[in-house]
Chain A
């Protein structure tokens, strides 16, 4: 299957700082990338959908000014958690698709805000 690389795999940051998570499609051009959040023992909750070259579409209840998403190229999308607080601690996962195939997922990023 296609490879999606997510970096970093884990990060610890201080409350009030910003954290950037990268999602790269390594062997295909991802026209669409999705960002999810997952709490322990719960399923993936879609945060936003980003299409290359356009603004991300956020799900209801997701603060777009807090979770900045950039999809500047066909192989890279970034999620920046701005002014992070302990309640933002979670597992963040990206997925990528070229719309002709199923979505492939990154390995996830464990964010801990202290």
Chain B
């Protein structure tokens, strides 16, 4: 059974303060690890897909990396508009973690 664990559960940062979110996973045959952003009351918005260990992808202030057991979402110099819940998921049926609720304080 695919499992995903995200940490921390919640993170408050000052604007400009960089940090990383963690996603640990176990899956029978990785067919991609997915990162999504979810704003309150909305559906998840796709950010990245990573397929193999060592792969990295970037989008604006976000960079996602992947190892054989975990993925990190690095956020550099975040802005208040980056506040959201960040979800990772694995597997063909997208097993989701519980997410990290990120708050960026102006």
Binding site for B on A (CB under 8 A): 1, 4, 6, 34, 41-44, 46, 49, 91, 93, 95, 102-108, 110
Contacts and interface: CB of A to CB of B under 8 A. Distances in A.
Interface stretch (B12-20, B76-84, B93-101): B93-101
Contact of B41 (A46, A49, A103, A110): A110
Contact of A44 (B32, B42, B49, B87): B87
A44 B101 CA distance: 14
B54 interface: no
30 contacts: A1-B46, A4-B43, A34-B93, A41-B101, A42-B98, A43-B87, A43-B96, A43-B97, A44-B44, A44-B87, A44-B94, A44-B96, A46-B94, A49-B93, A91-B41, A93-B43, A93-B44, A95-B44, A95-B94, A102-B46, A102-B49, A103-B46, A103-B94, A105-B36, A105-B45, A105-B46, A106-B43, A107-B42, A107-B43, A108-B41
Contacts of B101: 41
B34 interface: yes
Interface in B40-95: 41-46, 49, 87, 93-95
Interface residues of B, number: 19
A93 B98 CA distance: 15
Contacts of A106: 43
A80 B69 CA distance: 38
Most chain B CB atoms below 10 A, which of A6, A46, A110: A46
B44 A105 contact: yes
A43 B44 CA distance: 11
B43 A43 contact: no
B25 to A, nearest CB: 13
Closest 6 CB pairs of A and B: A105-B43, A43-B98, A108-B43, A43-B96, A105-B44, A44-B96
B18 to A, nearest CB: 25
A43 B99 CA distance: 7
A22 to B, nearest CB: 14
Contacts of A95: 43-44, 94
